[in-house]
Structure 1
Amino acid sequence: METGYARELTYRHDDGSFSAFGDRDDSGSMWLTAFVVKSFGQARPFIYIDDSVMEKATDWMISRQNADGSFPEPGRVIHTNMQGASATGSSLTAFVLAALVEQGPIDNRTVVAVQKAITYLTTIDITDMYELAISSYALTVAGDPSASVMFAKLDALATIKDGMKYWHKPEVPGTSPPRWRSPNQQAKSVDIEMTSYALLYYIRTNDITGGIPVMKWITSQRNSLGGYHSTQDTVLALQALSEFATSMFSEDGNIHITVTVEGAIYEFDVSSENALVLQSVALPSVPETVDVSATGSGFALLEVAVYFYVEEDIEEPSFSLSVELSDETLDSMKVQTCFRWLKAGTSGMAIQEFGVLSGFAVNPDSIERLPILKKIEVADRKVVLYLDEIGSDEICTTFELERVAMVAQSQPAAVRIYDYYEPSNESAIVLRSSVSPWEKTANSEM
């Protein structure tokens, strides 16, 4: 946590604000500054947090609050769902409101700013599902009674299915014909965030019974490693699940679980002593049925994870992506990649990853400095470019690969571009070189 705190301070501006790329950005971001303030406030009980850092960031946000109580974004909202479907900025205002309250004890100036934000959220007409979810949560955190009215609107839009409850934001149609989508595919980040905010509302209002079907859905959307699509939806989902687990935890809990699979019996015991320990078993094959029985009292989670592979991507691509190799020699080659956004509007902050071909290394100085290029990370076998939002106009960038070792049977490398906050919006292709050092050597000897 201390390492994370120190690293986060490197993204701080002189005025106390924070942004995705620190001083390389023209202005601090309201959303990111609020996120940092909230995170630092949560870390305060465990590590040292400089009060002046919190005060200066809070002052920066409050000083930019509009007269109507809303909060503007002088920087860039790289998390596009924060904008909702409306131009009013209610999602951002709700996010900042929650951060101001959750950071810990607040002074009189912050109290005034909080009240102005509450007034703004309760006097405008909010209909967007994401805005309703985050506003309901923020008003609950702030202790405003109108939160129940806001949540009632959201509750009317819920999907209830198979004993679970969740919220789904319809997707903007793409330009390609619709493709088959697995019914068990992980939900979009925006759906996980909205549903997590709803669960946090249930927890804050002590409606644990109402939150159980919501908790079940969020849990069902975890990947096999326990996470979700992106950083933000994982943070929110884990916060909601953690707070729910806290409300359900009992020192007296003791559960004995028996799992029967094709005649084999596996037994697990969950108590207060090992409640935080993951117990698992790998099955030798995929069974037709898994029988589970449990005795005792308490609350536990059992998950069955199934892995399988498909020959090709079944998702509609979100980016157009092409890669071309040129000037290929034994010692070097140029790589040009072109890309554009295929869906409506623009992407959020995008990441482009280049796997480096065997025997080569990237020349960092050769990477073309596009106006949208914000940051470059170069590792041994990969170069990562952080890009601003990408639109429908094609953009190309080039760089050079230089030979560092003679490698036989050079393996292909993957090139991938994806939306940072919605990684399922991606496209990927395989990069191959036609030049082999061993073939060149053999030809020269002949």
Structure 2
Amino acid sequence: MGGLQGKGSPVPLTAYVLIALLEAGAPADAPIVLQTTRCVLGDMTRDPYTIALKAYALALAGHPRYTAVLLQLLELAVEDDEGMYWEVQRMFYRSNSLAVETAGYAIMAMMANPERYLLDARKIVKWITTKRNGYGGFYSTQDTIVALQALASYETNTYEGKLDVVATVTSFSFRESEKVQQSQQFQQSQKLQYKRSVPTVGNLVHEFIINEDSKLLQQQVSLPDFPTYVKISMEGQGCAVMQAVLRYNVPVAEPSDAFSLKVDGDNAPGRDCARKRIRACSAYILPDGESNMAVIEVNLISGFIPVKDDLKAVVRRNPKVIKRYEVDGSKVSFYIEEFTAEEVCVAFNILREVEVENTKPGTVVVYDYYEPDFAVSTTYAFPYVEGCD
């Protein structure tokens, strides 16, 4: 739940628990539901995220105040060409992740009365689909769960008959020297749109067919050249989402100023060439003093594996702060309850399992679980030891 934003108030967490109870089938007149509802109604916040949680909770409970809370939320909405959304401001930053969550809860609250709020919900759906990343999710695990639940609820409540859409993507190279030739090719390609996919040199004509049989399938096609001019045309009946994804590498990602990070790689005492030690320390340095749950992610140098007993000891020494660890291949992740200005350190040994030549340095990344844009990373290597390959 958004890192339990609103830590100074019990209302966001209370509303979240109320939602969980009602979604799990608790009766609206159960004592615990009535008590938590009273707590939620007593809150006078102007925070869109909290109001959206309240609106959805009250909608699930069938409470008569649900409409008034939803109208309060709509008064705070921003509407532009992308649709309808809310700017969720935290103390020192604007949260993209919480904006997606807020929109998701707003959609689900509106679906308690879809006839009345259909147009507003459609605007929010339009906006939220523009925030998807290239893998189908959003900014974090939590906002992705809420957004997908909201989109599923919208689809369930606004079914308008069978889906039958054909989307045709036509592309041709944008190189200056080929403009005249490709203009002719483009005109010719228009005559070939009855085919499923027609590639030419640097060009493409491709049809996406979306119907009741294929609507749950992700369909994709790669453009044969870049930069390129792309034209999209659609015909038929129904609603579908089309997304263009461009991926590229950057030499060094821009670090966030939310965390500090220090990493040391060292050799084991003596002449043990196969044993190394990694120590990573991080702290939260923004003025509000506390992070959400965060992750220290250690990517090991090729050929090494962690010593499991050391990982267990890291958690055992500081269980209130370091909640657990995970090992996924050559990646070790430590989940931190929250960072403060006081450094949190993890240190463990690794063993060389396989000899690998010309290895690259390892990396350590610290990021906010609910705000992945808050991330900092650095590389590490081990000092040279004579006689060790």
TM-score bracket for the superposition, by shorter chain length? 0.7 to 0.9
Please give the TM-score of this superposition, normalised by the length of structure 2. Answer: 0.82
The aligned counterpart of 1:259 is 169
The aligned counterpart of 1:193 is 101
Output the amino acid matched with 2:154: F
Q: Indicate conservation of the 8 Å contact 1:83/1:89, yes or no.
A: no
Q: Indicate conservation of the 8 Å contact 2:255/2:376, yes or no.
A: no
Output the amino acid matched with 2:285: L
Output the amino acid matched with 1:337: A
The aligned counterpart of 1:423 is 372
**SS of corresponding position for 2:21:** helix
**SS of corresponding position for 1:346:** coil
* Alpha-carbon distance between aligned partners in 2 of 1:399 and 1:409, rounded to the nearest angstrom: 23
Q: Give the fraction of aligned pairs with identical amino acids, expressed as a percent.
A: 30
Output the amino acid matched with 1:440: G
Change (3 A) 1:390 1:234: same
- The ranges of structure 1 where at least 4 consecutive aligned residues each deviate by more than 4 angstroms after the TM superposition are none
The aligned counterpart of 1:153 is 72
Output the amino acid matched with 1:347: S
* Alpha-carbon distance between aligned partners in 1 of 2:207 and 2:352, rounded to the nearest angstrom: 54
Long gaps (5+) in structure 1: 1-78, 175-180, 182-186
The aligned counterpart of 2:43 is 124
Change (3 A) 1:388 1:124: closer
Shift of 1:275: 1.3
The aligned counterpart of 2:159 is 249
* Alpha-carbon distance between aligned partners in 2 of 1:383 and 1:315, rounded to the nearest angstrom: 21
Output the amino acid matched with 1:359: G
1:346 maps to 2:265: no
Q: Indicate conservation of the 8 Å contact 1:351/1:385, yes or no.
A: yes
**SS of corresponding position for 2:4:** helix
Change (3 A) 1:80 1:272: closer
1:334 to 259, 277, 285: 277
The aligned counterpart of 1:33 is none
1:196-215 to structure 2, matched below 5 A, reads: 196-206=104-114, 207-215=117-125
Shift of 1:285: 2.5
Moved more, 149-158 or 249-258: 249-258
The aligned counterpart of 2:136 is 226
Q: Indicate conservation of the 8 Å contact 2:84/2:120, yes or no.
A: no
**SS of corresponding position for 2:206:** strand
Shift of 1:80: 5.8
For CA contacts below 8 A with separation 6 or more, give which structure has more relative contact order: 2
**SS of corresponding position for 1:268:** strand
Kindly provide the CA deviation profile for residues 165-224 of structure 1, in whole angstroms up to 9, marking residues without a partner as x.
Answer: 1112124337xxxxxx9xxxxx72111111111111222221222111100111111111
Shift of 1:142: 0.9
The aligned counterpart of 2:254 is 314
Shift of 1:136: 1.0
Change (3 A) 1:397 1:104: closer
1:94 maps to 2:15: yes
* Alpha-carbon distance between aligned partners in 2 of 1:431 and 1:266, rounded to the nearest angstrom: 46
Q: Indicate conservation of the 8 Å contact 1:248/1:299, yes or no.
A: no
Output the amino acid matched with 2:146: L
Shift of 1:145: 2.0
Change (3 A) 1:366 1:159: same
Kindly provide the CA deviation profile for residues 279-321 of structure 1, in whole angstroms up to 9, marking residues without a partner as x.
Answer: 2111022345422221221111111111122222235332111
**SS of corresponding position for 1:295:** strand
1:400 maps to 2:310: no
**SS of corresponding position for 2:18:** helix
Aligned Cα RMSD in Å? Answer: 2.4
Change (3 A) 1:271 1:322: same
1:440 maps to 2:383: no
Change (3 A) 1:415 1:267: same
Change (3 A) 1:325 1:92: same
* Alpha-carbon distance between aligned partners in 2 of 1:105 and 1:125, rounded to the nearest angstrom: 26
Output the amino acid matched with 1:84: G
Kindly provide the CA deviation profile for residues 60-91 of structure 1, in whole angstroms up to 9, marking residues without a partner as x.
Answer: xxxxxxxxxxxxxxxxxxx5643426x33111
Output the amino acid matched with 1:95: Y
